[in-house]
């Protein structure tokens, strides 16, 4: 903050890589310039809004918003469902790994059988997702 008298009268400098941006407010006048040049980048004046104009704009916004809601369907909120599906998938992966290891240890067959067991389980999960969760 370069200068501060009150909320309506202040000045500040913002250092940039090659230059300095100056922002000044004096009552209802905002001025933005670079390196103190006489030609401002922005010269703005605040105009107070009338209460009835604000109310008219608000009502127009609410009407437009309700029309937009009628045009576009609501999006399904699936966060809780996706968390449950994620937990179920993790449990399924763990269960398949345990079953695959038990089959491998019990029957003393090669690791191919355990891999096949896991692959079939994941293929079943894929079919369920494709047919139930994401139907065309």
What average pLDDT does this structure show over 89-118? 73
pLDDT at 134: 64
State the Cα–Cα distance between residues 22 and 11, nearest whole angstrom. 7
pTM: 0.37
**For 52-100, what is each residue's pLDDT tens digit?**
888 899 999 999 999 998 888 777 777 787 778 778 877 877 887 787 7
**For 29-51, what is each residue's pLDDT tens digit?**
989 988 877 788 888 888 887 88
Q: Give φ, ψ of 92 to 5 degrees.
A: -65, -40
pLDDT at 99: 75
Q: Where are the domains of the chain?
A: 3-45, 79-133
The first and second tokens of residue 54, run together, are: 């604000």
Report how far apart, in Å, the C-alpha atoms of 43 and of each of 12, 21, 32, 126 are: 15, 13, 6, 60
Q: Is 125 in contact with 92 (CB distance < 8 Å)?
A: yes
pLDDT at 88: 83
Residue 136 has pLDDT above 50, yes or no: no
Q: Residue 93, class by beta-carbon neighbours within 10 Å (0-12 exposed, 13-18 middle, 19+ buried)?
A: middle
CB-side exposure of 26: number of CA atoms within 13 Å? 3
**Residues, the chain:** 136
What average pLDDT does this structure show over 9-25? 90
The first and second tokens of residue 80, run together, are: 């809780």
């Amino acid at each position: 903050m370069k200068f501060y008298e009150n909320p309506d009268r202040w000045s500040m400098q913002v250092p940039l890589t090659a230059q300095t941006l100056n922002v000044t407010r004096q009552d209802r006048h905002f001025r933005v310039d670079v390196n103190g040049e006489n030609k401002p980048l922005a010269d703005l004046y605040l105009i107070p809004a009338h209460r009835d104009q604000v109310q008219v704009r608000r009502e127009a916004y609410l009407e437009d918003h309700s029309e937009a809601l009628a045009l576009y369907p609501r999006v399904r909120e699936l966060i809780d469902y996706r968390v449950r599906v994620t937990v179920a998938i993790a449990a399924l992966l763990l269960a398949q790994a345990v079953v695959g290891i038990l089959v491998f240890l019990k029957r003393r067959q090669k690791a191919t059988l355990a891999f096949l067991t896991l692959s079939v389980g994941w293929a079943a999960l894929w079919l369920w997702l494709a047919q139930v969760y994401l139907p065309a």
